[in-house]
Amino acid sequence: MSSAVPTGQADPQWVRGGWGHTVRSQDEALRAVMRIVGVAPGRQYVWRGCVSSRRPVRSSLLQSLVVEESEPLPDETLVRGQELALLRSARAWGPGAGPHPQASDLELLAHLQRHGVPTRLVEVTRNPLTALWFACARGDDESGVLVALDVTDLPVHPTVDPQPHAGHEGRGWALRRALRRSAVLGQPFLVQPTDPDRRTAAQEGLYLTGVVPRTEPVRGLDGLPLRPGTPPGKQKLADLFAEGRRRAGRPGRLPFCALVVPADLKRTIRTHLTAVGRQRAVLFPDVDGFRDAVRDDDVDLHPTPPVLSPFDDALADEPAP
């Protein structure tokens, strides 16, 4: 996740916009998650956590093309051109840049995204507790946000096409077709890793993406063709998440919602989430995760074990036991 926080026009102002609610305790945060999934039985949600509530849901590729936050967002033509250039360059770079030489554009994009290359894919998870951990992972001097998105009716595309098309054009066909349908239907789509790596599996991760819409985006959901309708408003969300039995006046549907987590609540929530296995070592179970944790001074190396200096270790001259 990027540490830069967009300012000005990019600030979603979730609560003021009518789609957000500020939680005041860890109990309220967990209750709100359960209330969201219980608004309408059978609905499916994906979740995204961000350490700054001032940062919109925005793909890394779209973010990389933003020059000034006060200007209109880059359009689909610009995003697609940059995407195709990245895919072409990644294939030309060598076999180590992709999962395998015959990888489709969709599979290659997922691979590049996982390694920090800007793509149109937005990382989400099916596990709200994982996303809540990301919302509280750091930045204890600013509020975080947990975003829930109803994806019940969205198409799901695997990274590996079960019916691949041959040839150079065939590698790009699944992504090209998915983007065309996104443009025609005016909705995003999900990308499900076919053979997830350890980190993706631990995070129960997948991707949300789609064409950059021609219409004005919902504030805070940048570059995604989502049309959630009229926001429920501050009071209805407060009624929905209130303690005790659900009150009258709660929203009948909730296409998306943003739960803002105050800065002074993050550490408490992190501590509680450890009890259910949501912690850094579990969510980043690979060498890159360990490297980053060491770099962030998030690995407990104290006390160091007793050391016998090699200058004094005469027993090492003896044959191995």
pLDDT in tens, 147-206: 999 999 999 999 998 776 665 568 899 999 999 999 999 999 999 999 999 999 999 999
Positions of the chain with pLDDT lower than 70, given as ranges: 1-9, 95, 97, 164-169, 246-250
Tokens of 61: 């590729």
Cβ atoms of residues 205 and 284 within 8 Å: no
In angstroms, the Cα distances linking 147 to 21, 138, 294, 300 are 11, 17, 29, 31
In angstroms, the Cα distances linking 286 to 201, 243, 281, 289 are 12, 40, 8, 5
Tokens of 223: 């570059």
pLDDT of the residue at 2: 39
Tokens of 52: 């700054």
DSSP letter, residue 268: H
Question: pLDDT tens across 219-248, in order?
Answer: 899 999 999 999 999 999 999 999 887 666
Tokens of 174: 């699944």
Tokens of 10: 């990019």
Q: Provide the residue type at 266 as one letter.
A: K
pLDDT of the residue at 186: 95
Tell me the percentage of the chain whose pLDDT exceeds 70: 93
Distance CA 266, CA 241 (A): 19
DSSP letter, residue 51: S
pLDDT of the residue at 158: 95
Cβ atoms of residues 149 and 45 within 8 Å: yes
Cβ atoms of residues 128 and 45 within 8 Å: yes
List the one residue out of 44, 67, 55 whose CA is nearest residue 3. Answer: 55
Cβ neighbors of 173 (< 8 A, separation 6 or more) are 104, 161, 165
